[in-house]
């Protein structure tokens, strides 16, 4: 009896073949330049992408096994929503060798096909783009902010936040201005919000409050941030 094709197998076969076929057509129009680029893409490049896809599919397979009780309408696998979600996540997975990002993408895929959650396709794609754009440092800093959100409600300066973060974590080293850059990026993505009353580096205080400190905490994890945090695992 023929065994049914699994989701990970379908993803792997689709990704490799579609990327190869489409790219080779365009490269054939470039003459000698195309031949050189073809060698890079489908020599070293293809091996790199294949390894990344293999790592992603391995993680995804393990998650699918653990969620085997999840009921999915078979018609959904034929839908454009499933196609769009799958293609976006595949494309993101081969752009990184980060296992942390592969974990997030695989969890996002699992949740994306869960009928109980009923994802808005647009939000799912935004989260895929966030994972693409952010570095592991962004993700780990956000994870720290989320896990310490109650304590950081009383945050009064970015200097204090930097000192607390560096004293409590040893995952990586960075200077305070790099740290501030990551915080700005997280805020620009509306994952977090910082009160306007928080002192910037070098500020000695004595300011007039821009917001009521009784109403606006130093740190707020937004509703978008709350949803994104669901994919952060230990």
pLDDT digit string, tens, across residues 89-146: 999 999 999 999 999 999 888 877 765 555 566 788 889 999 999 999 999 999 999 9
pLDDT for position 84:
85
15 lies in a domain? yes
pLDDT for position 82:
81
pLDDT for position 65:
78
Secondary structure class of 220 (helix, strand, coil):
strand
Same domain as 150, residue 64: no
pLDDT digit string, tens, across residues 11-66: 555 555 666 666 666 666 666 666 666 666 667 777 888 889 999 999 988 887 77
pLDDT for position 9:
55
13 lies in a domain? yes
pLDDT for position 196:
86
Closest by Cα among 100, 103, 168, 110 to 139? 100
Split into its structural domains, the chain has a count of: 2
Same domain as 48, residue 158: no
The H-or-E segment that residue 133 falls in is helix 121-133
pLDDT for position 14:
52
* Contact (Cβ atoms closer than 8 angstroms) between residue 158 and residue 198: yes
Instruction: With a cut of 60, say whether residue 234 has pLDDT above it.
Output: no
pLDDT for position 71:
65
Same domain as 87, residue 14: yes
pLDDT for position 213:
46
Same domain as 199, residue 114: no
pLDDT digit string, tens, across residues 193-208: 998 888 887 655 544 4
Helix, strand counts (H, E) of the chain: 10, 2
Same domain as 126, residue 11: yes
Query: Which residue in the block uniquely carries the two structure tokens 């993680």?
Result: 59
With bands split at pLDDT 50, 70 and 90, how would you rate the model's confidence at 178?
Answer: very high
Secondary structure class of 199 (helix, strand, coil):
strand
pLDDT for position 206:
41
* Contact (Cβ atoms closer than 8 angstroms) between residue 105 and residue 112: no
Higher pLDDT, 1 or 46: 46
Range of the domain at 67: 7-133
* Contact (Cβ atoms closer than 8 angstroms) between residue 146 and residue 232: yes
Same domain as 73, residue 39: yes
Q: What is the C-alpha separation between 107 and 97, in angstroms, rounded?
A: 16
187 lies in a domain? yes
Mean pLDDT of 81-94: 88
Same domain as 25, residue 98: yes
Boundary residue ending a domain (104, 133, 162): 133
Q: What is the C-alpha separation between 78 and 113, in angstroms, rounded?
A: 12
Same domain as 16, residue 129: yes
62 lies in a domain? yes
* Contact (Cβ atoms closer than 8 angstroms) between residue 138 and residue 182: yes
Locate all alpha helices (DSSP H) within 28-98, ordered by sequence.
32-39, 45-66, 80-93
């Amino acid at each position: 009896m023929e065994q049914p094709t699994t989701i990970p197998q379908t993803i792997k076969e689709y990704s490799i073949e579609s990327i190869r076929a489409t790219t080779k057509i365009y490269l054939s129009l470039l003459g000698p330049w195309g031949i050189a680029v073809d060698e890079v893409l489908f020599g070293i490049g293809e091996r790199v992408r294949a390894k990344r896809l293999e790592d992603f599919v391995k993680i995804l397979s393990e998650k699918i096994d653990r969620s085997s009780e999840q009921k999915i309408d078979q018609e959904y696998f034929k839908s454009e929503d499933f196609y769009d979600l799958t293609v976006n996540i595949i494309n993101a997975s081969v752009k990184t060798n980060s296992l942390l990002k592969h974990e997030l993408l695989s969890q996002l895929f699992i949740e994306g096909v869960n009928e109980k959650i009923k994802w808005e396709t647009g939000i799912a794609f935004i989260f895929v783009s966030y994972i693409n754009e952010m570095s592991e440092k962004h993700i780990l800093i956000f994870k720290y902010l989320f896990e310490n959100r109650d304590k950081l409600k009383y945050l009064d300066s970015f200097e204090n936040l930097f000192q607390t973060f560096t004293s409590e974590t040893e995952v990586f080293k960075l200077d305070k201005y790099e740290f501030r850059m990551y915080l700005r990026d997280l805020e620009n993505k509306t994952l977090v919000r910082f009160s306007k009353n928080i002192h910037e580096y070098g500020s000695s205080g004595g300011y007039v409050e821009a917001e009521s400190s009784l109403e606006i905490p130093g740190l707020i994890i937004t509703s978008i941030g709350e949803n994104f945090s669901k994919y952060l695992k230990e």
